[in-house]
Chains A and B, each alone.
Chain A
Amino acid sequence: MGWDFDSRQPIYVQLVRQLTQRILTGVYEPGSRLPSVRDLAQEAQVNPNTMQRAMAELEQAGLLHTERTSGRFVTDDEALLSDQRQQLAATHIAAFFRQMRALGYEPEEALALAKRQGGE
């Protein structure tokens, strides 16, 4: 899973999104220790300050927490993670319906198509 950035948007915003994605999909498992800001910045090829800013936002959101000497850890609060996953799913679904409507499919039709395709 590579890091991909669109330079037109603030990078820290994109980092927040991509880190959240990794956490919610389990790439960084709950309770696991994250690489240091420097290492992660090098891996993503971004400025360490930008990475730090993104991680600070994730801490604010409760997805990460810092142990003073041991570094940053992914939360193991399943309720929070589940909640976040639902929120992210909701945005994906909203985008789906939006795109389908643009093609001319109303939500009921879109849902029916999705069920048929999902069943295959």
Chain B
Amino acid sequence: MQSGKEANEMEQNYVFEARDLSRRFGGKRALEGVTFGLGPGHIAGLLGPNGSGKTTLIKLACGLIRPTAGEILVCGSAPCPATKAETAYLPDVACLDDRMRVRDLIKMFGEFYANFDPERARTLINDLGIDEADRLRTLSKGNREKVHLVLTMSRNARLYLLDEPIGGVDPAAREYIIRTILGNYQPESTVLISTHLIADVESILDYALFLRDGQIALQGDADALRESRGQSLDELFREVFKC
């Protein structure tokens, strides 16, 4: 994996790439000059405090908004239905129709996503002790979020975008989420975890992108950063953002 500057020198098939990406909202610059390239087989962290532009970057990757300058590419193309088929997005909000039963959601995901693996979803949901016949709204909030995570991770996508997957959950749930993410690892896919709670996910990251005020403050291989700075990513984060 190369840093932004070296990216142009080598031919890489990046799963997720940004080239001088910028996005403004009225007068506000949410993202400015963001450049990076993530190859396949990595679990990367998009690290920054709230308001640093993480969600904007993810929305751009999903095609929910368009850049005001620069490019964003998923598997080499700008976001479109074809890239959406290869992008598994777990947003920070609950966006599933909670009147639906779990098994109906499994069926729906299978119908719209060709790379969805219903068997894997069913196995994971059964392991959670959730009955497929339950309607989503009868489940606890934690279980609802886990179902959404399972559905997202049961897709064999090229790019996984997880927006704050571990916000405010108990340690057992956190371990479950991490285990699910690791259990889903594929060498052809890339996972991007967007979070401001770094200590929880540090150990599974192999690349880090630090975002501050819409710009990349620092990026690099996780272990290389730890070695050169003698700090954990969490400590590095606090230092970079002085909070």
Contacts and interface: CB of A to CB of B under 8 A. Distances in A.
Q: Determine direct contact between A and B, CB below 8 Å.
A: yes
A5 to B, nearest CB: 6
B231 interface: yes
Interface of B: 41-43, 175, 178-179, 182-183, 185, 199, 202-206, 222-224, 226-227, 230-235
Nearest to B232: A7
Contacts of A11: 203, 222-223, 226
A25 interface: no
A82 interface: no
A41 to B, nearest CB: 6
A10 to B, nearest CB: 4
A8 B182 contact: no
B202 A38 contact: no
Contact of B206 (A5, A9, A50): A50
Interface residues of A, number: 19
A94 to B, nearest CB: 22
B235 A8 contact: yes
Contacts of B43: 47, 49
A46 interface: yes
Interface in A1-41: 5-13, 38, 41
A100 to B, nearest CB: 27
A45 B203 contact: yes
A9 B223 CA distance: 7
A42 interface: yes
Given A8-B230, A11-B223, 8 more contacts: A7-B199, A7-B234, A42-B179, A45-B203, A46-B204, A47-B43, A47-B204, A47-B205
B97 to A, nearest CB: 32
B130 to A, nearest CB: 21
- Which among A7, A41, A46, A47 has the highest number of chain B CB atoms within 10 Å? A47
Contact of B204 (A6, A8, A12, A45): A45
Given A41-B182, A48-B182, A5 B203 contact: yes
B202 A41 contact: no
B222 to A, nearest CB: 7
Given A8-B226, A10-B227, A49-B41, A42 B203 contact: no
B199 A49 contact: no
Leading 3 A-B pairs by shortest Cβ distance: A7-B232, A10-B223, A47-B206
Contacts of B199: 7
Contacts of A42: 179, 182-183
Contacts of A45: 175, 178-179, 182, 203-204
Nearest to A41: B182
Nearest to B233: A7
Interface string A81-96: 0000000000000000
5 contacts: A38-B182, A45-B182, A46-B203, A47-B182, A50-B222
